[in-house]
Amino acid sequence: PTQRLYQRFIDGIGAPKPCEWERVPRAYIGGYAAEVETIFWRLEEAKAKCILLGSDCGGITCEAAEEGDTESGVGGSVACTVRHGDPPLAASPIGEESHVKHCADGDCDAPPIER
């Protein structure tokens, strides 16, 4: 990762812009991202994995929060998965919550590792 960041500065591109996340209650994002079915118990960990997966990940879908929780991932008690986006966003019949990743020109996605 350090080499990629260094190369961005050498190329005059600069640091990547951070992702913006849109919280969408009562919705899910279809399909697992890059066939990753791992359950993340903290929303921030799921977001980090989504960024690492790049354009294969369109966001995060989490199970419905427990009563009293205001956002998924509170207290580490909500299961989240990284999602591809087919369908991109749909109404959840079970009250799931999604966090859609928005990147200007894909800038916040981790670039692929070249070997």
pTM for this predicted structure? 0.74
Distance CA 6, CA 65 (A): 40
Distance CA 94, CA 92 (A): 5
Give the pLDDT confidence score for residue 72 in this predicted structure.
Answer: 45
Distance CA 20, CA 102 (A): 5
Q: What separation in angstroms does the CA of 47 have from each of 13, 101, 111? A: 24, 8, 16
CB 97 within 8 A of CB 46: no
Q: pLDDT 10s per residue in the chain (115 long)? A: 567 666 766 777 666 677 899 999 999 999 999 999 999 999 999 999 999 998 899 999 999 876 555 454 444 468 999 999 998 899 999 999 999 999 876 666 655 544 4
pLDDT digits (tens, 9 = 90+) for 56-71: 999 999 998 765 554 5
Task: Tell me what percent of the residues of the chain surpass a pLDDT of 70.
Answer: 68
ω into residue 87 within 30 of 0, thus cis?
A: yes
